[in-house]
């Protein structure tokens, strides 16, 4: 690169110098030739001016021998040939040859021009002398009738060429010297331009290698000095910024390594871009950045999770078991960089706590069922035997609250069982007409008590639903019961339709509705929208939570839509 840059600069100047030298040489040679030709023409005119008055008397007396003698005498004083030509083009006298042996000169261009009254010149090869000649012809007046003859003088061009060559050689010598000086100047100038550029290139290479203390010092003033000063300033700024970035990277690396959660980042091909110490500890393997994740002998479950995450390229949260511990894995795909980040949160203790809580609820619920049943039975017995109205009132309160506790315990046991299930108990064909008929019949008394209208619309030709009949029946019993509790007047509509590969079953009411800010929480345990109404109706706050778990066990989802004062719609979406 260095030689090429210098060669480009130097050869560029050299090409310009050579071109200008050739141009100057050509122009100079042409100017010299023209100047010499003009000088010779002036010389020929001077000779003609001397001869004109001398030859006129001889011509008038037709003394051609005397004319020839005069011409030869003039020839002896210089290397000039003289020729006299009459108006017919006949040669009357010549200083070199016998006129009788010479051709007619009427058609010679210089002769024609002279007969027309002007000076005629021409450069032409002479057959008589066998060489190139410069001719100059002028009319000669005889004093009476104007131009009667033409006096033509000529000189061999070899003399002109000799003189021109001499001058050209002098010019060429001067040009060679000038070229040498110009090439030397071009070399020095190119080197002066190239040297600071080369220093800048070398310095830039050092900076690229990490040497930010590199400086370029140039003493010459001008744009190149400004460039080097700016380069030095840029280098100092890069050093400061690089130091800052390096420090921040160290801090970030320290933070990433100190984080208890495992972190691994891969590109879209599975090559590890970033990995922290916590992940190495969790996986129990040694991975390096630049390796592929499948080369690190990580647990198969986590390998599958990474593979699936790279295929889907979507953000997701999954649970994975690694070495008998449970981790919540957060998958995040970075679309801009085409990378995937996986973060492992240890939730083993939370899982254990959740299991303990479920066991506790199940055990307590089971243990409470027996005494509560006994309390209810004895309360009913006492109620039948007592005749005291006040005692009867108190026994009724005991019986109602016992019944409410028994319902809560029953729902807790049901919910506990559902949470421990991975799939429905049964996987049988479910007749929707029968299922909806049972759900409506169980809630029929409450519906009639409030005077509500209820309709069931099942689309014709709807496919068979696969699942646990008892559990699905429980879903719609709870949804219809919920609609009855929160609807004072109006109607309840149950509708089942086929939608693509799913089946959508909706339960819509015209009740009080649910505020939008409470919709996200209605499926939580013990959460009730209207607590006073729930207490009056004996609600446990577990019905919708049970519904959600049963729907999810069947691979479906439930959607709640509501507007206060206009009612609520629960839509259950199940695989057809």
What would the pLDDT profile of 42-93 be if each residue is shown by its tens digit?
888 888 888 888 877 777 777 877 777 877 777 766 678 888 888 888 888 8
SS3 sequence, 259-328?
A: CCCEEEEEECCCEEEEECHHHHHHHCCCCCCCCEHHHHCCCHHHHHHHHHHHHHCCCEEEEEEECCEEEE
Model confidence at 1, pLDDT cuts 50, 70, 90, reads very low
Count of CA atoms in the C-beta half-sphere (13 A) of 394: 6
287 backbone dihedrals φ, ψ, rounded to 5°? -115, 145
Q: Which residue has the higher pLDDT, 458 or 181?
A: 458
pLDDT at residue 493, rounded to an integer: 93
Bridge partners of residue 319, in order along the sequence: 328
- In 401-485, DSSP assigns E strands to 428-430, 453-458, 465-467
Q: Which CA distances in Å does 117 have to 43, 110, 138, 148, 254?
A: 20, 11, 8, 11, 110
Contact 52, 140 (CB under 8 A): yes
pLDDT of residue 48: 80
> Per the confidence metrics, is the pTM higher than 0.85?
no
Whether 563 has a pLDDT exceeding 90, the answer reads no
- Is residue 203 predicted with pLDDT exceeding 50? yes
pLDDT score, position 360: 66
Contacts of 13 (CB under 8 A, 6+ apart): 186, 189, 190
Strands (E), 101-254: 120-126, 131-141, 147-156
DSSP category for residue 211:
-
- Which residue, 470, 461, 458, is CA-closest to 430? 470
Mean pLDDT of the region 409-428: 65
Q: Is 223 helix (H, G, I), strand (E, B) or coil?
A: helix
Q: What pLDDT was estimated at residue 2?
A: 46
pLDDT band at 507 (very low <50, low <70, confident <90, very high): very high
pLDDT of residue 424: 58
**CA 260 distance to own-chain centroid:** 37
Domains, in order of start, for the chain: 37-164 (3.30.450.20), 259-346 (3.30.450.20), 351-419 (1.10.287.130), 423-575 (3.30.565.10)
Residues 129-158: pLDDT tens digits? 677 788 888 888 765 555 568 888 888 877
The answer to whether the beta carbons of residues 46 and 68 sit under 8 Å apart is no
Does 214 have pLDDT greater than 50? yes
> DSSP character for 112?
H
Q: Give me the sign of the Cα torsion angle 17, 21, 23, 27.
A: positive
Instruction: Give the whole-angstrom CA distance, residue 539 versus residue 541.
Output: 6
Q: Do 411 and 399 contact (CB within 8 A), yes or no?
A: no
The mean-pLDDT minimum among 13-17, 65-69, 145-149, 294-298 falls in 145-149
Burial of 147 (0-12, 13-18, 19+ CB in 10 A): middle
The upper half-sphere exposure of residue 180, i.e. CA atoms within 13 Å in the direction of its Cβ, equals 5
- At residue 52, the pLDDT reads 81
């Amino acid at each position: 690169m260095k030689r090429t840059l210098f060669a480009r600069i130097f050869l560029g100047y050299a090409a310009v110098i050579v071109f200008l030298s050739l141009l100057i040489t050509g122009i100079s040679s042409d100017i010299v030739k023209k100047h010499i030709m003009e000088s010779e023409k002036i010389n020929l005119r001077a000779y003609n001016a001397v001869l004109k008055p001398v030859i006129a008397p001889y011509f008038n007396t037709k003394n051609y021998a005397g004319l020839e003698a005069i011409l030869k005498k003039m020839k002896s004083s210089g290397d000039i040939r003289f020729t006299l030509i009459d108006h017919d083009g006949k040669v009357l006298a010549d200083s070199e040859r016998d006129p009788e042996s010479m051709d007619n000169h009427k058609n010679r261009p210089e002769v024609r021009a002279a007969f027309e009254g002007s000076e005629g010149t021409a450069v032409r090869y002479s057959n008589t002398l066998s060489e190139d000649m410069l001719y100059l012809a002028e009319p000669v007046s005889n004093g009476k009738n104007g131009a009667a003859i033409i006096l033509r003088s000529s000189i061999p061009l070899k003399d002109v060429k000799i003189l021109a060559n001499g001058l050209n050689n002098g010019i060429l010598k001067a040009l060679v010297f000038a070229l040498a000086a110009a090439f030397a100047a071009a070399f020095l100038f190119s080197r002066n331009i190239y040297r600071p550029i080369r220093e800048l290139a070398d310095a830039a290479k050092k900076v690229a290698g990490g040497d930010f203390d590199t400086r370029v010092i140039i003493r010459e003033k001008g744009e190149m000095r400004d460039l080097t000063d700016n380069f030095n300033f840029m280098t100092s700024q890069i050093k400061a910024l690089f130091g800052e970035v390096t420090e921040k990277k160290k801090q970030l690396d320290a933070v990433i390594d100190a984080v208890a959660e495992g972190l691994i980042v891969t590109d879209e091909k599975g090559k590890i871009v970033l990995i922290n110490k916590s992940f190495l500890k969790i996986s129990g393997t040694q991975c390096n950045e630049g390796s592929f994740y499948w080369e690190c002998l990580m647990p198969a479950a986590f390998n599958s999770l990474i593979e699936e995450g790279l295929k889907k390229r979507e953000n997701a949260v999954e649970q994975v078991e690694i070495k008998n511990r449970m981790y919540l894995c957060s998958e995040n795909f970075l679309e801009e960089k085409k990378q995937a980040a996986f973060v492992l949160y240890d939730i083993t203790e939370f899982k254990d706590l959740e299991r303990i809580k479920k066991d506790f609820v199940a055990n307590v619920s089971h243990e409470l069922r027996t005494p509560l049943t006994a309390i209810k039975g004895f309360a009913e017995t006492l109620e039948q035997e007592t005749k005291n109205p006040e005692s009867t009132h108190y026994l009724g309160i005991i019986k109602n609250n016992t019944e409410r506790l028994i319902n809560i315990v029953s729902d807790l046991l049901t919910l506990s069982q559902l949470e421990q299930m991975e799939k429905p108990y049964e996987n049988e064909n479910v007749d929707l007409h029968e299922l909806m008929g049972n759900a409506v019949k169980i809630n029929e008394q409450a519906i009639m008590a409030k005077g509500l209208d209820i309709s069931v619309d099942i689309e014709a030709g709807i496919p068979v639903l696969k699942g646990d009949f008892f559990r699905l029946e429980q879903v719609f019993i709870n949804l219809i019961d919920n609609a009855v509790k929160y609807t004072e007047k109006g109607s309840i509509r149950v509708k089942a339709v086929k939608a693509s590969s799913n089946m959508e079953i909706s339960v819509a009411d015209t009740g009080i509705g649910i505020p939008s800010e409470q919709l996200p929480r209605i499926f939580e345990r013990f959460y009730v929208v209207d607590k006073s109404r729930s207490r009056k109706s004996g609600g446990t706050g577990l019905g919708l939570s049970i519904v959600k778990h049963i729907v999810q066990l069947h691979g479906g989802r439930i959607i709640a839509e509501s507007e206060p004062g206009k009612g609520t719609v629960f839509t259950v979406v199940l695989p057809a």
